[in-house]
């Protein structure tokens, strides 16, 4: 996806993201509950025993993690109705190298409608412009074709497959590694390299 396509998509986004609030428990539980089968295939936290108590604990974690800057979890929202339709976030933060993981899931009734791509683009803007991260990694189970397409449509670059990279429901899976790179980080590193070369 080139820069023009990204700008055009942002101008007509049907889906937005926002920080979790304590009031999101019922909404995020409803989104997850209707999506048990497809979410459980790729997310280890979705077990047959998943309950509203689990949703409460997750929302508590998501809100407190913002405060201590351990992760930046968001709900995905239908812009027209403000309905919560999924979750996305930046986590596994490497604050030394400015690298983190970007993850997402969307409720069953909103699959294939562009919600995940809109969420990825919004998270990318937040991570690069507000937090200053240099690299975002999207890790996709090898057989998760829908998530693979989301990463591609968001403009992430496919860098290869890592063996035994994801642990899902007690089993290790190979995974595609995609990356989104902050242009400012690349420009800075190129400039420093050029300056170093000139002074040698």
DSSP string over 100-144: EEEEEEE-GGGTTTTHHHHHHHHHHHIIIIIS--SEEEEEEETT-
pTM over 0.75: yes
pLDDT tens, N- to C-terminus, the chain (200 residues):
444 344 334 445 799 999 999 999 999 999 999 998 888 888 888 888 899 999 999 999 999 999 999 999 999 999 999 999 999 999 999 999 999 999 999 999 999 999 999 999 999 999 999 999 999 999 999 989 999 999 999 999 999 999 998 887 778 889 999 999 999 887 655 555 444 445 45
Q: In this structure, what token pair is assigned to residue 66? A: 């913002």
13: DSSP letter: -
Q: Which domain holds residue 189?
A: 3-199
CB 146 within 8 Å of CB 154:
no
- Domain tally, the chain: 1
Cα dist from 198 to 102, 141, 185, whole Å: 37, 44, 20
- Find the CATH number of the domain harbouring 163: 3.40.630.30
CB 158 within 8 Å of CB 151:
yes
Q: In this structure, what token pair is assigned to residue 96? A: 């030394």
Distance of CA 93 to the CA centre of its chain: 12
């Amino acid at each position: 996806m080139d820069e023009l396509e990204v700008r055009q998509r942002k101008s007509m986004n049907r889906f937005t993201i926002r920080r979790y609030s304590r009031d999101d428990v019922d909404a995020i539980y409803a989104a997850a509950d209707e999506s048990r089968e497809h979410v459980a295939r790729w997310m280890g936290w979705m077990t047959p025993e998943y309950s509203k108590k689990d949703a409460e604990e997750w929302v508590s974690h998501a809100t407190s993690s913002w405060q201590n800057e351990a992760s930046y979890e968001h709900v995905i929202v239908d812009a027209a109705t403000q309905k919560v339709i999924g979750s996305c976030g930046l986590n596994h933060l490497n604050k030394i190298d400015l690298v983190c993981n970007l993850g997402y899931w969307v409720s069953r009734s909103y699959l294939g409608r562009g919600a995940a791509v809109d969420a990825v683009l919004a998270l990318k803007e937040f991570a690069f412009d507000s937090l200053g991260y240099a690299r975002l990694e999207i890790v996709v189970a090898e057989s998760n074709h829908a998530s693979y397409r989301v990463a591609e449509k968001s403009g992430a670059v496919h860098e290869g497959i890592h063996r035994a990279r994801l642990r899902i429901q007690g089993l290790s899976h190979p995974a595609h590694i995609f990356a989104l790179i902050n242009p400012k980080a690349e420009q800075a590193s190129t400039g420093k390299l050029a300056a170093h070369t000139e002074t040698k």
